A = this chain, B = another copy of it.
Amino acid sequence: SEENMAQKCEGGPRVSGQKNTSSLEGKVFTRAQVATHTTLEDRIWVTYQDGVYDITEFIANHPGGSDKIRLAAGKAIDPFWRIYQQHLNTAYPKEVLDGMKIGTLDPAEPKVEMDASDPYASDPDRHPGLLFHNTKPCNAELPRELQIENWCTPSPLWFIRHHHPVPVVDAETYRLTIDCSQINTPPLSLTLKDLKERFNSTTVTTTIQCGGNRRDGFNPIAKTSGIPWGFGAVSTAKWTGVLLRDVLLYSGHLTPQLAEAGAVQHIQFKAIDGLEASIPIEKALNPYGDTLLAFEMNDEPLPPEHGYPVRVVVPGHVGVRNVKWVSDIVASSEEAEGPWQRGIAYKGFAPGVKDFKDVDISKVLSMQDTPVQSLIVEPGNGYKLVVDEDDEDDETVTLKGWAWSGGGRGIVRVDVTNDNGVSWHTAELLDGKDQNPLRAWAWTFWEAEVPIPEGSAEKGFAEFHCRATDASYATQPEKAECIWNLRGLNNTSWHKITVQVTHESDDDDDDADEE
């Protein structure tokens, strides 16, 4: 087959830096064939529009970093270029790409047929750079390589945590119902236009993190239940909408005084996809709580994936409370029904609880506000560091990452250790550091230049951990073992990376062992 032939050609001898793909020019490939070319060994192919390109030799020279371009390996590069528009602003990137063309996509390739009876048939197309755990329902991470490229995560790269198919909603017929019958006011129904016209718009930038982010770090200790997220179940966006408390006041005259008199303790949200969740009245009516009914994400209408036409944004609270496609808001004396509020899904247990048999779930607090978190994003775990043998004592590595805490608590400090907590190097805080320390709803980026410990090259590796301190001066626990819990929630243990350290400098192959 053509595919086999292509592989054979690549297997032949080649001169480093020289493109030996001329024999493939003018060839036609299927997307499936392109998809098999994802490693340096098999060569790395991408498509752009209908062209197919072998970018293997270019990867080490990619101005944006080799780890980022490799996210497109075997896939279309178009969705990446749409987000990182520097590729489209000048002719140069396309010219470089043209030099690596090896063929075109087969125009006769049949489109993937959608089964109309599949409830997921109408789910949107998704960015190929996401790390998919499932597609039905879709659960996907923001990849490490793109986490700190933009303080506001581009919407197509946002992590996705769905429980059902994405609902198809007609904004014209959409209605948001506000039920304050608990305090004896009649229900009210609002259109999207009502929301936009009757209330002042507010913009809030928040980081949203799934309660199970970093769950995968618990599983080597003992299996937890739930999606084995790495550390990409988190993203940040600028949201525009109206304040929930304004809508509650308008719809039901719901003030703190009336809420107390009427025993309203929770505001419940019901979504078009069936999800239900609630937040405490103290958050909903706090004038500094900034809970939004949002209709814009990063200055555009909400994408269907993220809640079109209206979603709830609960700054500083765990992801699941930020209910997408919200259709009903209920002022109640009780939490919302269902597994995501009253079930085990977002309840934390002690490390000793190994099953749910003898547990009274109703007595365990369902997550709302969340603890302080931080990650080393660059370099990636397994990165290969080359140190100069003659100047080894002065060698440093630059670590970069993000930190965030729930409850609006700003990041006071990020510290990094190269000796497992004996000594700490304080990072410089970057984007996000100027947020109000009590309403710091979005993450803070950081960077630290840290010495590579003496003897690392002899050992072959070095380990680095980070931990953040928030505005309540809370900090992260050291060991995942001590906070392990059956549902795998709130893994905020010190984040560790192990990098390879070597003396030999192999310029051609620096990136070969990155993960």
Contact = CB atoms under 8 A, between A and B. Distances in A.
Interface of A: 256, 280, 282-283, 285-288, 348, 350-352, 364-365, 367-372, 406-407, 409-410, 412-413, 415, 421-426, 436-439, 467, 469, 471-479, 481-483, 489-490, 492
A406 B350 contact: no
Nearest to A426: B350
Contacts of A287: 256, 285-287
Nearest to A413: B350
What secondary structure prevails in chain A residues at the interface with B?
A: loop
Contacts of A483: 475
A371 B474 contact: yes
A366 to B, nearest CB: 10
Contacts of A365: 410, 412, 437, 471
Contacts of A372: 474
A348 B469 contact: yes
Nearest to A287: B256
Contacts of A469: 348
29 contacts: A256-B287, A280-B438, A282-B438, A285-B288, A348-B469, A348-B473, A350-B413, A350-B424, A350-B426, A351-B424, A352-B423, A352-B424, A352-B425, A365-B412, A367-B473, A368-B472, A369-B471, A369-B472, A370-B472, A371-B472, A372-B474, A421-B479, A421-B481, A424-B482, A474-B492, A475-B482, A477-B478, A478-B478, A478-B479
A199 B469 CA distance: 39
Contacts of A371: 472-475
Contacts of A369: 409, 471-472
A409 to B, nearest CB: 7
Contacts of A472: 368-371, 406-407, 474
Contacts of A423: 351-352
